[in-house]
Amino acid sequence: MLEIAGIGAAEERVYRHLVEVRGAGVDEIVQRLHIQEREAASLLSSLHDKGLVGRLPGDGGMRYVPVPPDVALQPLLSRGQEALEWARRGVEQLAEEYRAGGRRHDAGQLVEVITGAGAIRQQLRQLAYGARSDLRWFCKADPVALRAQDNDEEFELLAQGIRYEAIYERDCLEQPGMVDNVAQGIRAGEVARATSALPVRMVIVDGSVAVCPLMPGSTTGARGEPTAAIIRSSTLLDALVALFDIQWAAGTPLHVTEAGELADFADGMGPGGSLADDERYLLSLVVAGVTDKAIATQLRVSHRTVQRRITALMQRAGATTRTQLVWQAARRDWLP
């Protein structure tokens, strides 16, 4: 039981006896535990060196008394925990060196291909439950292996503090039940955006591994089982992360209303939502890089009014920065 603290089984037996009787000499240990005198003396000496027993000289010889377990064992346990932590770090370092060596000698370590909806679904769930910080999803229509409504682990991981970022394309949101499903995710803590179309379906876990379907398969089996690639740390993974960042910046944030329903998202994914002429003119000045002060002078309004009108345009476009406002304005044909 105490081996984790560096105490052997025989030492523990002697220490437990001393705790029970509150102290004993070598002769008593020999008699009660049925061991040789030399062994008893050696065990008591070892326990003394480890700080588990004290020595009290007496008329009948040296007497050994136990140090209270909480006082004696806590330092040993702390050292044991430190040793375990060092060992854990060593294992992680060796594992990373092993993977790095494998990547240098075997490109197959970088991209692993898995086949079958069941295998893909199992891999997705395994990676999700292994996430330490975040998952980032490209959600297209007609999922290959894992439907959004079957993604039960999302709510467990959100409750544990894992960040979920998801970009939904229009066709995906228009599928039956998806709007309610997305609203449920946002209420649980998911951060979601919408776009007109996505180039690929994928998930990125902790920025260190991605899963990307290669062949969608077919319900009739004509094209065989679906396949997906597991992509680990590489320039290919870096490119996928950069692709997500670009799509994320261009996407329209999705929100839920006070009633808990998904707010209207249609205007954020394409042309529409026409502006008044004065709004178009203001937006053209923003796109041109004219400062707010210069805009105020040109429009003969206050600086605060300019800022308020730009903020209103950002809210209308679902943008949080002026860069996003310009992007959304171009996509919605707002620019003159």
Closest to 286 (Cα-Cα) out of 227, 247, 257, 328: 328
Enclosing domain of residue 136: 114-267
Look at residue 101 in the predicted model and tell me its pLDDT.
65
Look at residue 230 in the predicted model and tell me its pLDDT.
92
Contact predicate 168/194, CB 8 Å: yes
* Average confidence score pLDDT of the chain: 80
Q: What is the C-alpha separation between 336 and 333, in angstroms, rounded?
A: 8
Q: What is the C-alpha separation between 145 and 294, in angstroms, rounded?
A: 54
In terms of domains, do 213 and 309 share one?
Answer: no
Look at residue 133 in the predicted model and tell me its pLDDT.
93
Look at residue 117 in the predicted model and tell me its pLDDT.
85
How many other CB atoms are found less than 10 A from the CB of residue 106? 9
Q: What is the mean pLDDT of residues 226-234?
A: 88
Q: What is the C-alpha separation between 314 and 317, in angstroms, rounded?
A: 5
Q: What is the mean pLDDT of residues 279-283?
A: 84
Q: Is the pLDDT of residue 194 over 50?
A: yes
Whole-angstrom CA distances from 73 to 4, 14, 15, 54, 260 are: 11, 15, 11, 14, 54
Q: Does some domain include residue 278?
A: yes
Q: Does some domain include residue 336?
A: no
Look at residue 248 in the predicted model and tell me its pLDDT.
86
Domain count, the chain: 3
HEC profile of 130-192:
CCCCEEEEEECCCCCCCCHHHCCHHHHHHHCCCEEEEEEEHHHHCCCCHHHHHHHHHHHCCEE
In terms of domains, do 323 and 226 share one?
Answer: no
Look at residue 222 in the predicted model and tell me its pLDDT.
44
Residue 125 sits at φ, ψ, to 5 deg, of -70, -35
Q: What is the mean pLDDT of residues 225-254?
A: 87
In terms of domains, do 39 and 98 share one?
Answer: yes
Look at residue 4 in the predicted model and tell me its pLDDT.
60
Long-range contacts of 36-40 (CB under 8 A, 24+ apart): 39/10, 40/14
- Considering only residues 143 and 132, tell me which one the structure prediction assigns the higher pLDDT: 132
In terms of domains, do 288 and 315 share one?
Answer: yes
- Considering only residues 80 and 18, tell me which one the structure prediction assigns the higher pLDDT: 18
Look at residue 211 in the predicted model and tell me its pLDDT.
94
In terms of domains, do 136 and 260 share one?
Answer: yes
Q: Is the pLDDT of residue 264 over 60?
A: no
58-89 confidence digits (pLDDT tens): 777 788 888 887 776 777 667 667 767 777 77
Which residues does 240 contact at the CB level (< 8 Å), separation at least 6?
202, 204, 210, 212, 231
**181 token code pair:** 């499903």
Q: Is the pLDDT of residue 279 over 60?
A: yes
Helix (H) or strand (E) holding 211: strand 209-215
Sheet hosting strand 61-66, strand order edge to edge: 24-25, 61-66, 53-58
What CATH number has the domain bearing residue 300?
Answer: 1.10.10.10
Look at residue 10 in the predicted model and tell me its pLDDT.
87
Radius of gyration of the chain (CA): 33
Look at residue 2 in the predicted model and tell me its pLDDT.
66
In terms of domains, do 87 and 178 share one?
Answer: no
Confidence of residue 317 (pLDDT cuts 50, 70, 90): confident
Helix (H) or strand (E) holding 66: strand 61-66
In terms of domains, do 253 and 162 share one?
Answer: yes
Confidence of residue 283 (pLDDT cuts 50, 70, 90): confident
In terms of domains, do 62 and 129 share one?
Answer: no
Look at residue 206 in the predicted model and tell me its pLDDT.
94
Q: Is the pLDDT of residue 218 over 50?
A: no
Look at residue 281 in the predicted model and tell me its pLDDT.
85
Q: What is the mean pLDDT of residues 140-148?
A: 73
Name the H helices within 189-320.
235-250, 277-287, 292-299, 303-317
In terms of domains, do 236 and 126 share one?
Answer: yes
Of 2-6, 85-89, 188-192, the range with the lowest mean pLDDT is 2-6
In terms of domains, do 66 and 22 share one?
Answer: yes
Of 75-84, 173-182, 248-257, 310-319, the range with the lowest mean pLDDT is 75-84
Look at residue 272 in the predicted model and tell me its pLDDT.
46
Q: What is the C-alpha separation between 26 and 63, in angstroms, rounded?
A: 8
Q: Is the pLDDT of residue 106 over 60?
A: no
In terms of domains, do 90 and 217 share one?
Answer: no
Q: What is the C-alpha separation between 262 and 271, in angstroms, rounded?
A: 20
Q: Is the pLDDT of residue 256 over 60?
A: yes
Confidence of residue 189 (pLDDT cuts 50, 70, 90): very high
In terms of domains, do 56 and 128 share one?
Answer: no
Confidence of residue 164 (pLDDT cuts 50, 70, 90): very high
